[in-house]
Amino acid sequence: MEINWIVVGWIIDMILNGFVWLIIAAFSLILIDMTDTWTRRVIKWMDKADKWTRKFIDILFEWIQKKNLKIISSIILLIIFGILAQLGIIPKLIT
């Protein structure tokens, strides 16, 4: 009986390919788990920064209303909306 080396090579290739993909999948799962943890931390930090920014803007507008500074409030609004537009947040808020 003669050995078909093409079939043997094909089987060895499939086994090695499966082993390599198993290693890639294991490292990918570890990397996904790490980035998921980082993403959760960043989202918590962004929530804190968002609350702080909203509180700061609210206090700033109350101060402007108390002092009746309409020109300054319009300039500050222009700056804030310009920054939000550059960051692409305004279209996200609209939709």
pLDDT of the chain, 95 residues: tens digit per residue: 788 888 888 999 999 999 999 999 999 888 888 888 888 888 899 899 889 988 988 888 788 778 777 777 778 888 888 888 888 877 776 76
Q: Is the distance from CB of 75 to CB of 84 less than 8 angstroms? A: no
Burial of 84 per CB tally in 10 Å (0-12, 13-18, 19+): middle
What's the pLDDT at 95?
64
What's the pLDDT at 14?
92
